[in-house]
Amino acid sequence: GQNIDQPTEMTATEGAIVQINCTYQTSGFNGLFWYQQHAGEAPTFLSYNVLDGLEEKGRFSSFLSRSKGYSYLLLKELQMKDSASYLCAVKGAGNNRKLIWGLGTSLAVNP
């Protein structure tokens, strides 16, 4: 079967660094996405990895290891507004653009 695992909840302190892990088992791999979703709002795109390594974009970085079926999202200099759910999604095999979604990690940033 196809599966994506993320921790359900995490807590961190304002100004700190937090790493949110995602492991996946999918039939085929055509890229991994991270989305941010604030409560009651739409998911918004954060990052995309298709090759191994680290992609950095401001305070957010995303890492991928295809051989390990593993990714992480790194958030630096945490701000209160970073309190949200972080969704990991993998595009599997096929041409239908279907994404396999994790259940999301709810991050609470405390002062």
Partner 1 sequence: EAQVTQNPRYLITVTGKKLTVTCSQNMNHEYMSWYRQDPGLGLRQIYYSMNVEVTDKGDVPEGYKVSRKEKRNFPLILESPSPNQTSLYFCASSSWAGQRSNEQFFGPGTRLTVL
**Collapsed DSSP state (helix, strand, coil) of residue 47:** strand
Q: Smallest distance, Å, CB 16 to partner 1?
A: 27
Quick check: 57 binds partner 1 (CB under 8 A)?
no
Amino acid at 28: G
Residue list 63-102, contact with partner 1 (CB under 8 A): 87, 89, 91, 96-99, 101-102
Smaller CB separation from partner 1, 69 or 102: 102
DSSP single-letter state for residue 42: -
Amino acid at 44: T
CA distance linking residue 65 with residue 23, whole number of Å: 10
Binding residues for partner 1 (CB under 8 A): 30-31, 33, 40-45, 48, 87, 89, 91, 96-99, 101-104
